[in-house]
Structure 1
Amino acid sequence: MAKKRAFYIMTIPAMLLFFLFQTYPTLQGIFYSFTNWKGYGDWNFVGFDNFLRFFRDDRTQHAYLFTFGYSILSTILVNIISLVVALGLNAKVKFQKTLRGIYFLPNILSVLIIGFIFGFIFSYVLPEIGASLNIGILQKNILGNPDLAWIGIVVVAVWQAVAFNTILYLAGLQTIPTELYEAAKIDGASSWKEFWKITFPLISPFFTINVVVAMREFLMAFDHIVALTNGGPGTTTESISLLIYRGAFQDGDFAYQSANAVIYLIAIVFISVVQIYFLQKREVEL
């Protein structure tokens, strides 16, 4: 009875808080997506009008295309870089623990502060370097270029995300028995074969976690974009999250953006489920 009482004391408050701050707002948003509410005043039911409007809204479609492209590219880059860094840190090198701490630092820094620092770098430092070295592409602030602004966002987001993913890969690498590598060396296996036949198959669960988590985080991009470009120039780097925030709280289009958020939620859940299904299936094959 004492254990049951302790269980209920710990779980019930947590469930209530989760329902209050997560489930209830979600249900409320779904409800308002079928209305014409502006965030204040009276409202009426409009059925699926908001959802039909979604398919006619060029700005929303551009935000989805930008967010998906940015998320896919960033997820690929993060996992490649973090895996390479983890393999390097897992090797027997001097100051191994110190290097691990340094590489993890970006993960604990504020996203907005990092964005403002890199914004200064892109605006003033790189143009100065480009002018002194006569490199044309660096002489102008890329964040002000509609065709290149996304590059700055990807660079900053990937730089910060690599820290967390590297730690996960390091945890996976430490679970691999060293006897397997010793046996592979005796058999004359090359470094590439060791990686492809031993390392990668055994850390595939960690690869699955990193891909799913990274993709989800990038799909919800907000802070980096606000700090670096605020969705500009124009709306070229406007993510879905930023569009929903602006439309609902600045433009008073609360009901439509609630419908947009519902579609956004379904898209994230669908992508995550598909990723988990195929990546776990690949784990079994490996």
Structure 2
Amino acid sequence: MSKNLAYYLMAIPAVVLFAAFHTYPALQGIYYSFTNWDGLSLVYNFVGFKNYINLFKDVNVLNSYLFTFKFAIIATILVNIFSLAIAVGLNSKIKGKNFFRAVYFLPNVLGVLVVGFIFNYLFANVIPDLGEKMNIGFLSSNILGSESLAWIGILIVAVWQACAFNVILYLSGLQTVPIELYEASSLDGANKWQSFWKITFPVIAPFFTINMVLSMKNFLMVFDQIIALTNGGPGRATESISLLIYTGGFMGGEFAYQSANAVIYFIVIMLISVFQIKVLQKREMNM
């Protein structure tokens, strides 16, 4: 009894803090989503599902969803391809692989905004100057100033930084592959690609599932990179859902309206994550 009481007493502070700074604000946001509160005035009225209905009619909201989905899908695919390739290379017998592991993990230690501001300077100054000196046309202009190319700059930064964490997860998965399987496959005449596809990938399939789900979730919530690089511009070309909720809710007097947007956003991310887990886990069982 005394041990159980001690466990409960240790858990209570964490539960209270989580409820106070996470659960209560989330429930409060759901409550405000059914009102017309602007975030500042003391008086507001209940409007029912009006905010939710208007969301599906708002062109800016629909464009932000399209941009975010496009960005998240492409970034998730690229991150997992590059991360897995790097992890396989680092797991092989190369000299100084521990040094390279530390180097590849370094971007994960750096702050997202700091990295974003650094790349902003590179895209705006260093790369255009280099392009002009080398007479390379497509490098001579700042891609962050182009409505059609700005998202690529954000994609480069996000993928570069996200690879660091995913590489570590894939390296952990590669440590679980028995060496005996590789030895047996080599005796059977299997090449490296066959060994990877028939042995390595099936064994690390759970790690692939984790990386895919976490990557998609994180990229759907992209915010810091956009703030540091384009702030949603040029125009509204790179305005993600998170940025729209922030600017509209806290700076545009649309607190209740964007609260409704946040509720829909949460449901969408949850459904996508559950769908990914079910599909990928089913694939694991069939491998």
- Which residue is 2:103 aligned to? 102
How far apart in 2 are the matches of 1:6 and 1:175? 37
Unpaired runs of at least 5, structure 1: none
Q: TM-score, normalised by structure 1?
A: 0.99
- Which residue is 1:25 aligned to? 25
- Which residue is 2:12 aligned to? 12
- Which residue is 2:230 aligned to? 229
- Which residue is 2:57 aligned to? 56
- 1:77 deviates by 0.2
- 1:24 deviates by 0.8
Stretch of structure 1 that moved more, 11-20 or 112-121: 11-20
The 5 Å alignment of 1:118-133 reads 118-133=119-134
SS in 1 for 2:39: coil
How far apart in 1 are the matches of 2:243 and 2:223? 6
> Which residue type is aligned with residue 263 of structure 1?
I
Structure 1 stretches of at least 4 aligned residues deviating more than 4 Å after TM superposition: none
How far apart in 1 are the matches of 2:274 and 2:127? 41
> Which residue type is aligned with residue 28 of structure 2?
Q
How far apart in 2 are the matches of 1:9 and 1:76? 44
How far apart in 2 are the matches of 1:173 and 1:118? 32
> Which residue type is aligned with residue 263 of structure 2?
V
How far apart in 1 are the matches of 2:15 and 2:284? 33
How far apart in 2 are the matches of 1:280 and 1:208? 7
How far apart in 2 are the matches of 1:154 and 1:47? 38
How far apart in 1 are the matches of 2:12 and 2:215? 30
- Which residue is 1:192 aligned to? 193
- Which residue is 1:138 aligned to? 139
How far apart in 1 are the matches of 2:186 and 2:249? 60
- Which residue is 1:253 aligned to? 254
- Which residue is 2:37 aligned to? 37
How far apart in 2 are the matches of 1:63 and 1:112? 21
How far apart in 2 are the matches of 1:263 and 1:6? 40
> Which residue type is aligned with residue 132 of structure 1?
K
- Which residue is 1:167 aligned to? 168
- 1:2 deviates by 2.9
SS in 1 for 2:233: coil
- 1:166 deviates by 0.2
Residue 92 (str. 1) matches residue 100 (str. 2): no
Stretch of structure 1 that moved more, 157-166 or 17-26: 17-26
| TM-superposition CA deviations, 1:94-148 (whole Å, max 9, x none) | 1111110010000000111100110011011111111122111110000000010
Q: How many residues align?
A: 286
Stretch of structure 1 that moved more, 276-285 or 35-44: 35-44
The 5 Å alignment of 1:253-272 reads 253-272=254-273
> Which residue type is aligned with residue 32 of structure 1?
Y
The 5 Å alignment of 1:147-162 reads 147-162=148-163
How far apart in 2 are the matches of 1:3 and 1:105? 41
How far apart in 2 are the matches of 1:265 and 1:63? 15
SS in 2 for 1:93: coil
How far apart in 2 are the matches of 1:44 and 1:227? 36
- 1:17 deviates by 1.1
- 1:6 deviates by 2.2
- Which residue is 2:84 aligned to? 83
Unpaired runs of at least 5, structure 2: none
Stretch of structure 1 that moved more, 7-16 or 142-151: 7-16
